[in-house]
Amino acid sequence: MPVRIVQSKQNDRVKQLRRALTQPGRDPHGLVGIEGPNLLHEALRAGLRIDCVFAAQGAEHLLDDLGLPPETTVLLLPRDLLASALATETPQPVAALVKPPDWSWAHLLDPHRKTSPLLLVLAGLQDPGNLGTILRSAEAFGANGILSLPGTVSAWNPKAVRASAGSLFRLPLLTVSESECFQHLRESGVRILATAVRDATPAGQVNLAAPVALIIGNEGSGVPDALAAQADTAITIPCPGPVESLNASVAASILLYEASRQRKAAP
């Protein structure tokens, strides 16, 4: 495992890490940045290719038990130099450039999978923390994957990556246009459900054990009218309290739990 010491902010690799974290998805080599030994461990566990690891001097021991591939380059940097490239207020002593998974529609709509497709469609979701939390809940409750529509924050935003706690590395996610999304879902026999606050069917009365895709809208304005009009029906979470609506990630998590509950109870 080659190890080099870096002392300059102008080092090409340091600049690449900074760019990957501040402009996720725009690296010319297709790499993304992650921060922290825990996320690096999750990336290795998921089988992602680790291109380069950055460690603060004095924190090299954090890499000892990770089992990094021998071809992975490790750069040792002064702590303040590494911190200058990271996106967190409390910088981690370890970061990495990794190759994200290459997902396709076949991963989300695998005809050989025993359970019916359960998908989430993210329409204009802006908060990366919400997106990461949704990814984590989606994996926890057995969803097949995520479809990210234009206007949704990048799943590789550092805050989203942290909130996903590694689920982003394992759960299929595609960034697609609205037309491609609806065409594939309809051709595959997936029922499209738009989440709504009112004038919708309570989740407990909707068959979520069938092939379904749940549209989760923007935190403030919800599912756009044009998308809601293309859905097969609207679904809501009854709230007996005086709260008008739920946080997007909370609503998605409740619906995913209800889908999981129904699927477990189905014969």
The pLDDT of 193-218, averaged and rounded, is 94
Please give the share of the chain, as a percent, with pLDDT higher than 90.
Answer: 80
Strands of the 73-77 sheet, one edge to the other: 3-5, 73-77, 49-56, 94-99, 32-35
**What pLDDT is attached to residue 97?**
97
pLDDT the model gives residue 71: 86
Give tens-digit pLDDT for 234-253. Answer: 999 998 888 878 899 999 99
Per-residue confidence (pLDDT) for residue 242, from 0 to 100: 86
d(CA 247, CA 250): 5
Give domain 105-265's CATH superfamily: SPOUT methyltransferase, trefoil knot domain (3.40.1280.10)
Closest listed residue to residue 118, CA positions, set 103, 131, 137: 137
The gap from C-alpha 17 to its chain's centroid, in whole angstroms, comes to 19
Token pair 């981690």 is found at 92
pLDDT, position 198: 82
Name the nearest CA neighbour of 193 among 247, 109, 119, 126. 119
Give ∠ CA 42-34-84 in degrees, rounded to 5. 145
> Mean of the pLDDT values across residues 25-29?
90
Question: Looking at residue 111, what is its pLDDT?
Answer: 79
HSE-CB for 24 with a 13 A CA cutoff = 20
What's the pLDDT at 230? Answer: 92
- Which residues in the chain are classed under CATH 3.40.1280.10? 105-265
Tens digits of per-residue pLDDT, 48-103? 999 999 999 999 899 988 889 888 999 999 999 999 998 777 889 999 999 999 99
| Comparison of pLDDT for 98 and 3, the residue scoring more | 98
| Beta bridge pairs of residue 5 | 76
Domain with CATH 3.30.1330.30 in the chain: 3-99
Average pLDDT rounded to a whole number, residues 184-210: 94
CA proximity to 47, closest of 106, 2, 97, 101: 101
| pLDDT, tens digit (0-9, with 9 covering 90-100), for 139-156 | 999 999 999 999 999 999
Q: What is the mean pLDDT of the chain?
A: 93
Is the domain 3-99 a CATH 3.30.1330.30 member?
A: yes
pLDDT at 1: 63
